[in-house]
Amino acid sequence: MSFALGAVAVAAGHSLEAYDTIGSTNAEAMALAREGRGPAWVVARAQTEGRGRRGREWSTERGNLAASFATTVEASPATAATLGFVAGLSLETALRQVAPSLQARDARPELKWPNDVIVDGAKLAGILLEANALKDSRLAVVVGIGVNVVSAPEGLPYPATSLAARGDAVEAEALFVALADSFVGWLEVWDSGRGLPAVRKAWMARAAGLGAQVSVDFGGRTIRGRFESIDDSGRLVVRAATGIATAISAGDVYFGAAASAPAAQG
């Protein structure tokens, strides 16, 4: 089976560049975005030079999904960053469509702020958003999505799982079709940022750990408290035991026992 766009993505005018192996789908997608060749997808069966958040190395083993969406937007960097929520919602929608084990209400994927999709507390997918300013005041934006379809990486400081480990015989190509089509619908809801309240509401309904104790590492600091909400700008709101609420733009979030343990490294 080869990679292809679904009918909804084709009708929306999205294009596709598919590879067997690539260094980084995000790097290739950013080149397309900077040339104004979006909206476009770059997808590969294997990725050798991928990146995670904060420049961490990340490879995609053959059979997993590495896909990046490239576009240009007329929006502030803060608004463009909320496309990460669009990606999370799109992926959650697609996963429920193709993976039988995720269709039961008590087994649905959850969205972990700011950029992960988890199932039963284990990471199934990650999202990385990058943006470059263009000369005409627009932003070239790339949303990279990596999904553990057939295997999950080992040796991580947190649990990880794959669709195959859950008993789902899903191919990356089938998941991509569902993802590309669902992305169109959530982009329409987002509406260049004008629909952010609706996106936020939908994301909150799928949020992992809402109301639970969390620990957030950011900028050399650690904040502990209760995950209260995400605000209108997409920032994580954590309320400490003292009653003070802190809005956090970026950081690593830990739940459960890790929320009260010393800061994890990764």
Residue 221 lies in a domain: yes
Residue 47 lies in a domain: yes
Residue 2 lies in a domain: no
pLDDT (tens digit per residue) in 210-256: 999 999 988 788 989 999 999 988 999 999 999 999 999 888 888 86
Residue 89 lies in a domain: yes
Residues 124 and 217 in one domain: no
Maximum alpha-carbon separation in the chain: 55
pLDDT (tens digit per residue) in 93-146: 999 999 999 987 777 899 999 889 999 999 999 999 999 999 888 999 999 999
Range of the domain at 253: 213-259
Residues 114 and 228 in one domain: no
Q: Is residue 263 very low, low, confident or very high in pLDDT (cuts 50, 70, 90)?
A: very low
Residues 218 and 198 in one domain: no
Find the CATH number of the domain harbouring 100.
3.30.930.10
Say what the pTM is.
Answer: 0.90
Closest Cα partner for 204 from 71, 89, 41, 56?
89
Residues 155 and 100 in one domain: yes
DSSP the chain: ------HHHHHTT-EEEEEEEES-HHHHHHHHHHTT--SEEEEEEEEEEEE-GGG-EEEE-BTBEEEEEEEEE-S-HHHHHTHHHHHHHHHHHHHHHH-GGG-SGGG--EEETTTEEEETTEEEEEEEEEEEE-TTS-EEEEEEEEE-SS---SS-SS-B--TGGGT----HHHHHHHHHHHHHHHHHHHGGGTTHHHHHHHHHTTBTTTTSEEEEEETTEEEEEEEEEE-TTS-EEEE-TTS-EEEESS-EEEEGGGGTSSPP--
Residues 117 and 239 in one domain: no
Angle at which helices 83-98 and 172-190 cross, to 10°: 140
Residues 48 and 143 in one domain: yes
Residues 195 and 224 in one domain: no
Residues 196 and 229 in one domain: no
Higher pLDDT: 49 or 200? It is: 200
Over residues 69-86, the mean pLDDT reads 94
Residues 168 and 247 in one domain: no
Q: What is the structure's pLDDT at 59?
A: 56
Residues 192 and 116 in one domain: yes
Alpha-carbon Rg of the chain, whole angstroms?
18
Residue 265 lies in a domain: no
Q: What is the structure's pLDDT at 257?
A: 45
Residues 111 and 241 in one domain: no
Q: What is the structure's pLDDT at 51?
A: 61
Q: What is the structure's pLDDT at 50?
A: 62
Looking at the structure of the chain, the number of domains it has is 2
Over residues 158-181, the mean pLDDT reads 95
Residue 100 lies in a domain: yes
Q: What is the structure's pLDDT at 57?
A: 52
Do residues 117 and 91 make contact, with C-beta atoms less than 8 angstroms apart?
Answer: yes
Residue 245 lies in a domain: yes
Residue 1 lies in a domain: no
**What is the Cα–Cα distance from 36 to 23, expressed in whole angstroms?**
21
Q: Is 55 exposed, middle or buried (0-12, 13-18, 19+ CB in 10 A)?
A: exposed
**What is the Cα–Cα distance from 14 to 11, expressed in whole angstroms?**
8
Q: What is the structure's pLDDT at 62?
A: 86
Residues 158 and 253 in one domain: no
